[in-house]
Amino acid sequence: VHFNSSRTGVRLIGPAPHWTREDGGEAGLHPSNIHDNAYAVGTLDLTGDMPILLGPDGPSLGGFVCPVTT
C-alpha cells in the first residue's frame, strides 16, 4: 500500500501492468486511458501504471481502465 492513500482510494504498489496496446487512441496517450466510464466503490482503477482501489470518497466517473470491481 502506497503512503499517499486515503478515503478517495488505496494506492497499491507493485509491478506495472503489461499493456497490449501502445497508447489510449482517441482517449489519450497512455494505454490506461479510455472514454468516460462509471466507477463504483471498490473498483480497481488503473490510473496510468498505478492501481487504485476506489474508496467511498473516490470519483464516480472517469477515463481510466477498471478491470475489477469488488
Kindly state the cell numbers that stand for 16: 506495472
* pTM for the whole structure: 0.85
Q: Residues 6 or more apart from 51 whose CB is under 8 A from it?
A: 11, 12, 14, 17, 44, 45
CATH of the domain at 40: 2.40.100.10
Q: How confident is the model at residue 66 (pLDDT cuts 50, 70, 90)?
A: very high
Q: Is the CB of residue 12 less than 8 Å from the CB of residue 1? A: yes
Q: Range of 14's domain?
A: 9-69
Determine, yes or no, domain membership for 49. Answer: yes
Query: Domains in the chain: how many in total?
Result: 1
Kindly report, residue by residue over 14-58, the tens digit of the pLDDT: 998 999 999 999 899 999 999 999 999 999 999 999 999 999 999
